[in-house]
């Protein structure tokens, strides 16, 4: 019998005991049906397009699998070209259908061979109502959160409503994605794991996206950082840059290294993206460069408990309702 997850994804963000998970991704009879990796979209029934980004060539779809009650969010994204795959695209195997031919100008519809025709697929299954809100197109509003707003409005809300971070514990305990780890410093205070972000398919370095997840538990976000965390932050910056240079030959001057505020997952992590890649969440209302964070804490040890931080909230975001209730938006 399939295990039914709570409709609400909420889980306390502190002091939770990580649940057990298998390291090899295999499943057993007792596992819920959704624990098995998908091999196709057989039986998928689309309910709604939640969001659509023609510029990024991605679409966010809400759906279900026939015969199962859990809902899913599927993200489909066309992948960039790379130097390695271009020879396959520009070969006799790519069939061309002429759309327009005028003097020296031509437009065609091309059907390239399978190896260059892949799409990136991300699936959240079972998806909760909070995931549907997160991936839906909505009006956004800029909020100016003071230190007091954080303590009085945001923090109590987070403690009750944050997204599950079981996936983070699975990585830190080498129960999942261990084969993908690029670098690990196991120190309990200053250590971290650097690995490819879920959004990167590792096919080409021009959209490189890695995350460094700290080993230390209990640092929820930028707001919790003080000068006490400077050794941790310096360590992530230095060793993260070195590891990326060594493994992907990308120098520090080609990396954008930042934290999100607000993040979606309240266990401290740092994003490393290629400077040429316009990754989601790099706008001034969300991304905080790690080098700036370090400098702010060096100048003022409790900077982030005092600083007013701006971020966007979406119309259906419960936190926006809390800010409205408090007359802060
Ligand atoms: N390796 O299991 C995981 C995993 N999960 C569950 C999340 N991440 C994971 N990485 C690994 N394994 O960059 C990654 C996320 C994200 C980071 C958490 O951890 O990909 P954050 O806490 O600051 O949260 O970072 P963030 O950035 O909001 O999360 P997310 O999911 O990236 O959403 C941000 C927005 O980006 C979304 O609202 C959506 O508009 C867009 N987006 C999300 N996923 C995709 C996608 N696959 N393709 C395109 N756009 C996307």
Q: What is the pLDDT of residues 148-185, one digit of tens each?
A: 999 999 999 998 877 889 999 999 999 999 999 999 99
User: Does position 11 have pLDDT exceeding 60, yes or no?
Assistant: no
User: Does position 60 have pLDDT exceeding 60, yes or no?
Assistant: yes
- pLDDT value of position 26: 54
Tokens of 210: 């890695």
User: Does position 14 have pLDDT exceeding 50, yes or no?
Assistant: no
- pLDDT value of position 29: 64
The residue with greater pLDDT, 300 or 158, is 300
Q: How far is the CA of 103 from the centre of ligand 1 (A)?
A: 46
The residue with greater pLDDT, 294 or 133, is 294
255-260, strands of its sheet edge to edge? 183-185, 192-196, 209-214, 269-274, 255-260, 287-289
Q: Over the chain, what is the mean pLDDT?
A: 90
Q: How far is the CA of 211 from the centre of ligand 1 (A)?
A: 10
Cα distance between residue 81 and residue 117, in whole Å:
10
CA 238, 281, 50, 130 torsion-angle sign: positive
Nearest CA to ligand 1 atom 50: 280
The residue with greater pLDDT, 149 or 115, is 149
Reduce the secondary structure of the chain to three states and give it as a string.
Answer: CCCCCCCCCCCCCCCCCCCCCCCCCCCCCCCCHHHCCCCCCCCEEEEEEEEEECCCCEEEEEEEECCCCCEEEEEEEECCCCCCCHHHHCCCCCEEEEEEEECCEEEEEEECCHHHCCEEEEEECCCCHHHHHHHCCCCEEEEEECHHHHHHHHHHHHHHHCCCCHHHHHHHCCCCCHHHCCEEECCCCCCEEEEECCCCCCCCHHHCEEEEEECCCCCCCHHHCCHHHHHHHHHHHHHHHHHHHHHHCCCHHHEEEEEECCCCCCCCEEEEEECCCCCCCCCCCCEEEHHHHHHHHHHCCCHHHHCCEEEEEECCCHHHHHHHHCCCC
269 catalytic? Reply is yes
Mutate to test the pocket of ligand 1, among 77, 193, 198, 315 (most ligand atoms within 8 A of CB): 198
Q: How confident is the model at residue 18 (pLDDT cuts 50, 70, 90)?
A: very low
- pLDDT value of position 27: 57
| 195 close to ligand 1 (CB < 6 Angstrom) | yes
User: Does position 6 have pLDDT exceeding 50, yes or no?
Assistant: no
- pLDDT value of position 102: 94
């Amino acid at each position: 019998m399939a295990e039914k997850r709570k409709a609400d994804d909420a889980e306390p963000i502190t002091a939770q005991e990580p649940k057990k998970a298998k390291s090899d991704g295999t499943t057993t009879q007792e596992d819920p049906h959704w624990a098995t990796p998908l091999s196709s979209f057989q039986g998928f029934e689309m309910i709604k397009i939640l969001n659509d980004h023609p510029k990024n060539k991605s679409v966010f779809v809400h759906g279900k699998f026939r015969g199962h009650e859990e809902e899913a969010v599927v993200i489909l994204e066309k992948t960039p070209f790379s130097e390695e795959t271009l020879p396959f695209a520009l070969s006799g195997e790519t069939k061309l259908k002429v759309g327009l031919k005028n003097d020296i100008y031509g437009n065609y519809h091309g059907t390239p061979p399978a190896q260059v025709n892949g799409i990136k697929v991300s699936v959240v299954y079972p998806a909760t109502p909070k995931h549907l809100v997160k991936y839906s197109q909505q009006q956004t509003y800029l909020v100016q959160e003071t230190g007091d707003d954080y303590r009085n409005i945001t923090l109590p809300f987070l403690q009750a409503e944050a997204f599950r971070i079981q996936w983070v514990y699975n990585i830190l305990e080498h129960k999942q994605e261990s084969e993908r780890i690029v670098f690990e410093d196991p120190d309990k205070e200053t250590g971290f794991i650097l690995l490819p972000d879920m959004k990167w398919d590792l096919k080409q370095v021009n959209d490189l996206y890695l995350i460094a997840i700290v080993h230390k538990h209990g640092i929820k976000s930028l707001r919790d950082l003080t000068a006490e965390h400077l050794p941790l932050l310096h360590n992530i910056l230095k060793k993260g840059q070195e590891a990326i240079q060594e493994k992907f030959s990308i120098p520090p001057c080609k990396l954008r290294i930042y934290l999100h505020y607000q993040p979606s997952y309240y266990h401290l992590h740092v994003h490393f993206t290629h400077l040429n890649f316009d990754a989601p969440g790099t706008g001034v209302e969300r991304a905080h460069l790690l080098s700036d964070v370090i400098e702010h804490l060096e100048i003022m040890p409790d900077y982030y408990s005092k600083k007013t931080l701006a971020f966007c909230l979406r119309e259906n975001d419960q936190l926006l309702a809390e800010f409205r209730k408090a007359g802060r938006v």
